[in-house]
Structure 1
Amino acid sequence: MSYTFDPLVPRPIDRPTDVVVGPLTAERSAALDEAKIFSGPADPADRPAWREMLRAWRSDARARHGYTGAAYARPEAAWAARCSTVAQVWLWDELLYSFEERRFTPERFLADAAERFGGLDAVVLWHAYPVIGLDDRNQWDFYRDVPGLDALVATFHEAGMHVFVDYNPWDVGTRRGADDLTELAAVVAELGADGVFLDTLKKAEPELVARLEAARPGIVLEGESKLPVERIEDHSSSWAQFFADSPVPGVLRAHWYERRHMQHHVRRWHRDHSEELQSAWLNGVGVMVWEVVFGVWVGWSRRDAATVRRLVTVQRAARDLLLDGEWTPLAPLSPDAEAAGVYASTWSLDGVTLWTLVNRGESDYAGQVLATEAAERASGRLFPFTDGQAGSAPGTSADVVVPGRGIAALLHVADGVADPAWLPDLLDALAAVPHDPDARFPHRLARRVGEAAAQVTPVTYAPVGSVPPSGTSEPDAVVVPQGAYALTVRYRARETGMYQGAPYVDEWKPLPPRLHDARTLQRDGTLPAPVAVAAAEVTNAQFAEFLAATGYTPAQPHRFLAHWAGGVPAAGDEPVTYVDLDDARAYCAWRGGRLPTEDEWQLAGEAAPGLFGVARPGTGVWNWTESEHSDGRTRFVMLKGGSDYRAADSDWYVEGGRHAPDYSVKLLLPGLGLARSATVGFRCAWEVRA
């Protein structure tokens, strides 16, 4: 079924739910059960009745669903309620992995997170999508086959962080092992993971919950999007993705139902995160930091990163207030503050009250924020902070600066009540995390990573047998003439994007027809000299000849020629596979050539589609090209040709099958040998000299 929609506007299911004040009928209860966010009323006079309605619903819903809260009493899972920040991290993010050093670099990743976001409480190690489907490796292989992954998890644990693994329930068409419950429980136990992210699932079924709990007591499950109210019972967290708030900030339904249930706000494609950060601040929940979205840079602005730093600094110090204090959403404020778009929640416990303040407006608000009745009760000590201020004004309502599109806070300590033990350290910490008004998007452009010669350790290879002299192509190679060219490239829209930039900027949730549809782009350039591209892929036998002649040994041997038995290739003329870019570059250099660029490959293929296209002879494998790119956070390469392998039954896989020469796939490069695949080989190219 086809339909149209505006991707820049929240869908009906993303929007907040109006709270109708009155008798709590079955119909109203059901509507509130289904909410993501309860809308906040615009008129301050309506808010007391609105809050009472929310309390009535919570009491009724807990009774209807037989809520016990047992999952939150598990001591091993108590950390989840205090997890303010979780980062989605592609395992091969260049902050976390160095392609040059061929090792994980958690020290670099943690230093960056500390500087920009005030540190992280947890990470999700994203592993398989969007690479899975290139060959028959399943989602468990992409964890189990990573050398040193257990040590990386241990390093995060030593840094005081918790680690989630990712579960892809849609992975049904790759190599089959045991059932998903058995495999996931085993991976959790093997890696010592603390939680599971339920990709595309709002909830895990009870049997999966039980199996994971048995494998790792206290396991935290975090579903995507809206968690059904009855499953708040056994899911400690939820991934609050694409939650649209009301103009007057509303209340997160799941967190209102159970304060210990942690939610992480995120809008993955948005460049302005101020609204979800403000919602997190007013609701006392966390945020997801996600800058490399499946291979596409969607970095956070300095303003939003600074807001995260300030948010987590206060939340970590005052978490007991946020968990156990009396929560009053949309607490009364002064008329001037309300008129400026300033809103607040309060959290009160044993004579200590925290006001969490947000400013929906673009301009800073400076002035009193407390309502007259609150100011009259404000005897004691009042501490304004997170806005560049730090100090006290005993017995009075201090002026506060609430930055435009930002957050601020007040802490009141009643007469006769000691200051919280954490207050001095908090005030010192806040002095180092001022608001930053710079909301510009930090663009990154992917650039080609050098030329072939720069990628291969210089080695002099002695020609043997019939190997042509340096610079001489094979006799049947397809010659592409020099000069200007213009190409049309076909591809499937994926979350990886293509050469540059995010494919779904500021969109809510990409849906068909925009997600996974067929697209084209134009590329042009100039060849300074003719280029000859081999008519066929390098075979196993040819690669064996190269090894015998040169003694080549890869710097990272993992998975190198994994299909060869005892180092001996199978008989026949099959294309060599289980080689990565560096292996292919080394072979081509020995042959006096290099890998073709993606444009050279396509130009040759369009000139001789019978040798490069769908009907090409022999076994079909994808081809490496000299098109390695990096934006400093993600490495990728363009593949050409297509393979005979096709993972079935899910649209999330890398597309398989053979393709015409104009078709390209952007493959994110994994490290530590995982780029070596059963379905990827290569051809050589030579610059034709006069």
Structure 2
Amino acid sequence: MPTSKEPKFYDTPLPHTIPAHLPLPGKSPDWPFLTIGKWKIEVNNYAESWREQLAIWRTEHKIRMGYSDAEYRHPKLQWAQKNIVHTQMMVEDRYFYDPHTRRYTVDRYLDDLEQRYGGIDSVLVWYIYPNIGIDNRNQTQLAHDMPGGLEGLTGAVRDFQRRGVKVFLPTMPWDNGTHDQGQSDWDAVTALALAVGADGVNGDTYNGVPGAFRAAADAAGMKLVFQPEGSLTSDEMLQWNHQTWGKASTEIIPAVSKVKWLESRHMVNLENRWCRDRTDDFQYMFFNAIGYTSWENVWGIWNGFTARDGETLRRLATILRTFHRQAVSPDWQPYAMALQQNVFASMFPAGGVTLWTVVNRNEYEVGGEQLTVDHAPGRRYYDLWSGVPIEPLVEGQGLETTATFAFTIETRGYGALLGVDAGAACDGLDEVLATMRDFAARPLQSFSGAWTPLPQQLVDSGATAPRAEAPAGMVAIPGGVFNFEVTGIEVEGYTWAGMDFQYPWESTARRAHRHRMSIAPFHIDRYPVTNAEFKRFLDASGYWPEDDHNFLRDWIDGAPRAGWDNKPVTWVGLEDARAYAAWAGKRLPREWEWQYAAQGLDGRIYPWGNTWKAEAAPAVFTGRELPPPADVDAHPAGASPFGVMDLVGNVWQWTDEYVDEHTRAACLRGGSFYEPQTSHWYFPQARRLDQHGKYLLMAPCKDRSALLGFRCVMDAA
């Protein structure tokens, strides 16, 4: 039976246990993770020997890889060593951009994070996934489609930097199915980072950003920090990857980060995007004195911090930011002498100041003597977590003198001890003690740990003047009792509360929906709105959007291309579609109206029946350069039971919009003919009538798409 006091050393949770007969650390340099004694070894009995073996392994490992720490010593890259709280920010977050004023609102975004958990040190500005793949715009083009283009993005980057926040841009090695950008990823992303003044690059799906990125940045005269999503598959990459994302251990004994042990100045930011109780993450973070990825808006699904987790991160980050020099010390010692069962500590000495971080893994409060440390004459001690001086029990003499400290640690809580040697400088000590003393006035357990999803609201599409007869070009849809059943086809999110949409009759957003409802009669356009019809609208109304980037991008000199009159109009945003509908005395369809008009009452999977028919929709296209959509009347075999046409497989169609505090998203129906290859991360198709897509909204310039059009409805008398 394994003991609960067993130290271990790895970057990701162990997939299995290691039999005792396998080599100890230091004798197996290629072992993917290292541990000592899975069976009967006590931490305090073996930690010193374990650290000695791992120090030998570290030295040998660096020699074998020809390790150089030149990049960690470079002045322009050392900010990464203090990058404690990092976040991935969706550009669609409503705290980041206001489409009504057409302004980036970086201060509002940062003020919210400071209020809830003490703020961030760096941000990954995420403008690509999950919308990429709705058409063939590649990852670089999507950066240009941000509000204001690269100039607007540059302004947002500078707003972050003005607040002391470093900025990362993403790169995605899997984006090889959209428009060919004509250059390598490393050259493209370096040019983009140079253009907007970014500080670093995050390598999505990379287990180590390749050295070609460092070479390209150096050639451009930029010192970028590289941060792969995964742990390094090659330790050699540690030399130019200054940061990584990491995964926490959930076992009782907090693991030791392998990459931090190899290079103490390397910053690991733990990432656990779907976690709702982050205690395991935070305790692993504090034990290793590493950073955190405070990701809450996950692909438009809000997984917000609980009040307790927010307050915990505020306190941990305050300590690690203040004592970042100690946190990156090469002399750190995991598994310092902790005296209580399932309480663990690490020691971080530098410049005559020593920080001990302590975590209580128990589900109960632990009081009494907690730590015993080597004592130095004249050293002053502080209970840093409580913000007050502390007097230890000093025993022994000479080099054998020890100091033992008694204090209380909350349930699954934290402690921090500070030792300041005689004559050592400790800048900011009084300020941090006062701050921590104020924090300690309220225990962490008094903050709520309850997680709740954000409520969503359906945006009202209004009503039209009722018409008894269907106008020309529209089909009369009789009322009926309809079993509305649909599922969101999204790449991530499982079946968690808070994902997809919250219909008016539902208590929370969810992925799968079923509702028997009575639908009033209405009229619907037989075909999607065509280029010719939209041109008549422009000529008659004089409409032109304020945000006109990408508006009617396929047109030439203000008119559809030759032969395109009868194709569905695309490159129109939700706002543009609503403007057309209002001009025509119509509105956009509710999603259930669209589905009812396409499906009828028999629950069929496609407008024409339950099996796919090639002649009923355009052929699927898998290339990189998009052909135009088909004419709206090119596939009469695709008619619905009511005679509505071109519903599936040509271009996506706008229906409803949903909003919550942080996200706007549109419900798209019908799918398109485009299936970009090389990755399953592209915007997924939803051609079945029991499926829809969720399309995140930011601004018309970015929301418009080559494969997104619309049709209208009108209320019946």
Q: Which of residues 585, 588, 592 in structure 2 aligns to 1:592?
A: 585
- Name the TM-score, length of structure 2 as normaliser: 0.83
- The offset of 1:630, in angstroms, is 1.8
Deviations 1:418-460 (A, max 9, x none): 4512201111222343453235343234523421239xxxxx9
- The offset of 1:638, in angstroms, is 1.2
Amino acid at match of 2:529: V
**8 Å contact from structure 1 (residues 293, 495) kept in 2:** no
Amino acid at match of 1:67: Y
The 3 A distance-change label for structure 1 pair 305 and 213 is: farther
In 2, Cα distance between the equivalents of 1:327 and 1:347? 4
Deviations 1:3-56 (A, max 9, x none): xxxxxxx9997548869799868862211xx22888996442121111112111
Equivalent position SS for 1:329: strand
The 3 A distance-change label for structure 1 pair 77 and 238 is: same
The 3 A distance-change label for structure 1 pair 579 and 378 is: farther
The residue number in structure 2 matching 1:259 is 264
**8 Å contact from structure 2 (residues 519, 593) kept in 1:** no
In 1, Cα distance between the equivalents of 2:575 and 2:34? 49
The residue number in structure 1 matching 2:512 is 521
Q: Which of residues 571, 577, 580 in structure 1 aligns to 2:570?
A: 577
The residue number in structure 2 matching 1:232 is 238
The 3 A distance-change label for structure 1 pair 293 and 322 is: same
Is 1:212 matched up with 2:209? no
In 2, Cα distance between the equivalents of 1:419 and 1:328? 22
Is 1:482 matched up with 2:479? yes
The residue number in structure 2 matching 1:412 is 419
The residue number in structure 1 matching 2:659 is 630
The 3 A distance-change label for structure 1 pair 496 and 563 is: farther
The 3 A distance-change label for structure 1 pair 679 and 261 is: same
Aligned residues: 641
The residue number in structure 1 matching 2:319 is 314
Is 217-226 or 41-50 further displaced after alignment? Answer: 41-50
The residue number in structure 1 matching 2:643 is none
Is 622-631 or 186-195 further displaced after alignment? Answer: 622-631
Amino acid at match of 2:532: A
Deviations 1:484-543 (A, max 9, x none): 32133255341156895259xxxxxxxxxxxxxxx9834215345212221110111111
In 2, Cα distance between the equivalents of 1:84 and 1:296? 24
**8 Å contact from structure 2 (residues 393, 405) kept in 1:** no
The residue number in structure 2 matching 1:643 is 672
**8 Å contact from structure 1 (residues 322, 347) kept in 2:** yes
1:27-426 map, 5 Å: 28-31=28-31, 34-35=32-33, 42-146=42-146, 147=148, 148-179=152-183, 180-227=185-232, 228-240=234-246, 242-324=247-329, 326-334=331-339, 338-339=340-341, 341-371=342-372, 374=374, 380-386=379-385, 388-393=386-391, 397-414=404-421, 416-418=422-424, 420-426=426-432
Q: Which of residues 425, 433, 453 in structure 2 aligns to 1:427?
A: 433
In 1, Cα distance between the equivalents of 2:159 and 2:511? 43
The 3 A distance-change label for structure 1 pair 78 and 26 is: closer
Is 1:436 matched up with 2:444? yes
In 2, Cα distance between the equivalents of 1:450 and 1:471? 26
The 3 A distance-change label for structure 1 pair 611 and 502 is: closer
Equivalent position SS for 1:250: coil
In 2, Cα distance between the equivalents of 1:38 and 1:193? 42
The residue number in structure 2 matching 1:452 is 461
The 3 A distance-change label for structure 1 pair 589 and 346 is: same
The 3 A distance-change label for structure 1 pair 68 and 237 is: same
Amino acid at match of 1:622: V
Deviations 1:278-311 (A, max 9, x none): 1111111101010011121111112221121111
**8 Å contact from structure 1 (residues 153, 163) kept in 2:** yes
- Name the TM-score, length of structure 1 as normaliser: 0.86
Amino acid at match of 2:264: R
Q: Which of residues 498, 501, 510 in structure 1 aligns to 2:498?
A: 501
Q: Percent identity?
A: 32
**8 Å contact from structure 1 (residues 95, 109) kept in 2:** yes
The 3 A distance-change label for structure 1 pair 67 and 645 is: same
Gaps of 5+ in 1: 1-9, 455-459, 461-467, 504-518
The 3 A distance-change label for structure 1 pair 408 and 675 is: same
Is 433-442 or 260-269 further displaced after alignment? Answer: 433-442
Equivalent position SS for 1:157: helix
Is 1:602 matched up with 2:628? no
1:673-688 map, 5 Å: 673-688=701-716
Equivalent position SS for 1:251: coil
**8 Å contact from structure 2 (residues 204, 228) kept in 1:** yes
Q: Which of residues 547, 554, 560 in structure 2 aligns to 1:556?
A: 547
The 3 A distance-change label for structure 1 pair 499 and 545 is: farther
Is 1:671 matched up with 2:679? no
Amino acid at match of 1:599: W
**8 Å contact from structure 2 (residues 357, 416) kept in 1:** yes
Equivalent position SS for 1:207: helix
Deviations 1:168-222 (A, max 9, x none): 1000010112222321121111111111111111113322321123235321111
Equivalent position SS for 2:191: helix
1:539-550 map, 5 Å: 539-550=530-541
**8 Å contact from structure 1 (residues 362, 405) kept in 2:** yes
The 3 A distance-change label for structure 1 pair 69 and 418 is: closer
**8 Å contact from structure 2 (residues 360, 409) kept in 1:** yes
**8 Å contact from structure 1 (residues 621, 680) kept in 2:** no
Gaps of 5+ in 2: 1-9, 395-403, 501-509, 601-605, 618-632, 635-645
Deviations 1:242-291 (A, max 9, x none): 34354212210000100111110111111111112111111111010100
Amino acid at match of 2:678: D
- The offset of 1:470, in angstroms, is 6.8
The residue number in structure 1 matching 2:525 is 534
In 1, Cα distance between the equivalents of 2:11 and 2:240? 28
- The offset of 1:471, in angstroms, is 7.9
In 2, Cα distance between the equivalents of 1:296 and 1:360? 30
The 3 A distance-change label for structure 1 pair 681 and 452 is: same
The 3 A distance-change label for structure 1 pair 644 and 446 is: farther
The 3 A distance-change label for structure 1 pair 686 and 650 is: same
